[in-house]
Chains A and B, each alone.
Chain A
Amino acid sequence: MEETIKSVVLGLCSGGIYALLAVSYVVIYKSTRVFPFSQAAVLIIGAYIMWYCLIPWHLPIWLGFIITCIGGVILGTIVERAFMRPLVGQPILAPIVVTLCLMLFFRGIGILMGKGDIQGFGESFLPVGAWKVGFLHLPKIQVYGFILCAVLIAALMLFYEKTRTGLGMRVVHEDHVVAQNLGINVKRIFQYSWIISCVIAVVAGMLLGNIQGVGLALDANGLIAIAAVLFGGLESFAGAIIAGLAIGILQMLTITYIAPLLPGETTMMIPFVFLLLILFIKPYGLLGLVRIERL
């Protein structure tokens, strides 16, 4: 029982990053109807930018954070403008193949940036150590990371709810043609979506790089977050957050209960088995829209 509670709490903490990543997929999917597989590898870029700022260039943490975010903005702008915009209106296959190839492209860039090695931040830029709550050891990295994720997601939700641009984005989520008729610049909204998503992914990459080390293996987290997106329902922010946390908990439970029974990297495999189960049981996810089509 104690073990279970421990893994649930720890899973909740690490699930924050999955929730953040899942949101970064949903942001783009909702507005452009293209599933951005490339976000899995944007993580790597983010982690490496932060690493460059902190280790070779010796910048302070806050400046590194800002530079990484600016890097995310630039990345999102370039990707949208150069690769995605020419494919608006093409059959759905074309943009998806482009996002898949972008994933490998970013991996390649990541190899060049990291000189083929796994790099570490030396000492973590978030406080280390752990709080002791009863029988629980809460690592401070995880908790601060969770708080950062929660703040980012809350800021994004506020942006969607309160600002005029956010309102426009919500209209685009409903229907592109309607949004165009209402005088909303749909292309601009697509660009905003990519920028927001890339910034989120970059920040998540930074946090993950802090925990796991900066390397190419980071994109596994991005791929696992795809399972979270599907579990939450492709079109739902709330679903993505819940599912991200759930995937985090699932992973910790896997480490506690399943990993001793099976050899190899079960943490990588179990979320995907879960994904297949979701497809069997509840294919549209927790809060996803069930689309009914007519001729």
Chain B
Amino acid sequence: MNINRPCGTFDRNYFQSKELYRTPLRKALLALFIILMYVVPLLVGDYEISILTLICAFTIGMLGLQIITGYCGQISIGHAAFMGIGMYTVAIFQAHFGLSFWVCLPFAGLVPMFIGMLFGVPALRMKGLYLAFATLAAHFVIVYVISNWRSVTNGTDGMWMKRPGPLLGIDFTQDRNYYFLVLTITIIMTYLATNLARTKLGRAFVAVRDNDIAAEVMGINIAYTKIMAFGIGCFFAGISGAVGGAYYEYVNVEWFGLDDSIWYLGFLVVGGFGSIFGAIAGATVWKVMDEFSTLVTPLTESLLGGVAFYASAAFSLIFYSLIIIVFLVFEPRGIAHRWEIVKRSYRLHPFPY
């Protein structure tokens, strides 16, 4: 399944073929990485923990977009809106039915999945850009409904959310403990996404992306496959929104503009299409850039004469879009591809190839 493996390495039996990790070294490195992710928050301050939490939350959403766009080749420009549905699902269930976060979490995935499929069904029957149009429309309809259905969503004022209650004696109102929860959910979702790519459905996604007519000839139901990809992607987006919204304990309709959907797509490109690593790299770069741009903003403001309150908005728009465009023009396969090249050159060290 993994096309990036070195030349001459084959699976000799089904056990090898099923393995997630080809070599013990990889397994050890992954375990080390996960342990490191759990240990780091004990060593750093609150600011770093907030960045890490956001990276984890957005990684989940990015994995969803990776399934839609990277694996199945459909373009969604309403991903942030589905993330917003996830947030609002939790907020509404908590505010109106008094349910706990743990009960709401599955619904935060399932409701966007259902709504996404509803919007996706007409578009995904056809080949081409239609999902982009449908999700663009979905974005505006969703934002309209959320900002105007005041009795349920409290309009543009936003809603309060509660963090999950204590579990096994761990108090999640503390940021550090909440980070552990988000990290755990992220690891579970990453594991699910990794395995999804290896199932029949996941292979069907890739087949549809690469050549849909050939896929149809091989007996794949294209419309069903695309709709499943979109639904699963929206499920991930919803979970990501629920986790991210609960971190702030507040949701607002302004948090998922069209910009955010486009950044999702753009930083997926920066990370790299069609690999789990690409999604994680994309989310990480995005959130690190976010912090970078908030750090740089005072500088630009002083450059533009102190009173330039608009400069930060303009700066982040121009800066991000240029990063994504430069990446697309010079490295269209993203960081994941660059990483593969680095690994290969390490493996073949004395020789160029």
Interface residues of A (CB under 8 A from B): 35, 83, 86-87, 90-91, 93-94, 96-98, 100-105, 107-109, 111-112, 115-117, 223, 226-227, 230, 262-266, 268-269, 272-273, 275-276, 279-280, 283-284, 291, 293-295
Contacts and interface: CB of A to CB of B under 8 A. Distances in A.
B146 to A, nearest CB: 10
12 contacts: A35-B132, A93-B69, A93-B73, A96-B129, A100-B266, A101-B320, A102-B325, A105-B322, A107-B317, A111-B317, A275-B134, A276-B138
A93 B131 CA distance: 12
B250 interface: no
Contacts of A293: 127, 213
Main SS at interface, chain B: helix
Interface string B185-216: 00000000000000000000000000001100
A116 B136 contact: no
A104 B262 contact: yes
Main SS at interface, chain A: helix
Interface size range on B against A: 35 or more
Contacts of A112: 310-311, 314, 318
Interface stretch (B32-40, B96-104, B117-125, B234-242): B117-125
B136 A105 contact: no
B60 interface: no
Given A108-B313, A112-B311, 6 more contacts: A100-B265, A101-B320, A102-B321, A112-B318, A269-B141, A273-B137
B133 A226 contact: yes
Contact of A116 (B119, B140, B266, B310): B310
A186 B161 CA distance: 55
A5 B340 CA distance: 64
A55 to B, nearest CB: 18
B59 to A, nearest CB: 19
Interface in B46-82: 69, 73, 75, 77
B28 interface: no
A82 to B, nearest CB: 8
Contact of B317 (A105, A117, A269, A295): A105
Contacts of B137: 227, 272-273, 275-276, 279
B148 A264 contact: yes
Contacts of B172: none
Nearest to B131: A279
A87 B331 CA distance: 11
B325 A283 contact: no
Contacts of B141: 269, 272-273, 276
B309 interface: yes
B318 A223 contact: no
B202 to A, nearest CB: 19
Contacts of A87: 328-329, 332
Contacts of B269: 93-94, 97
Contacts of B144: 264-266, 268-269
Given A93-B75, A107-B317, A276 B332 contact: no
Contacts of A90: 328, 332
Most chain A beta carbons < 10 A, residue from B73, B127, B310, B320: B310
A264 B217 CA distance: 48
Contact of A226 (B123, B136, B273): B136
Contacts of A102: 321, 325
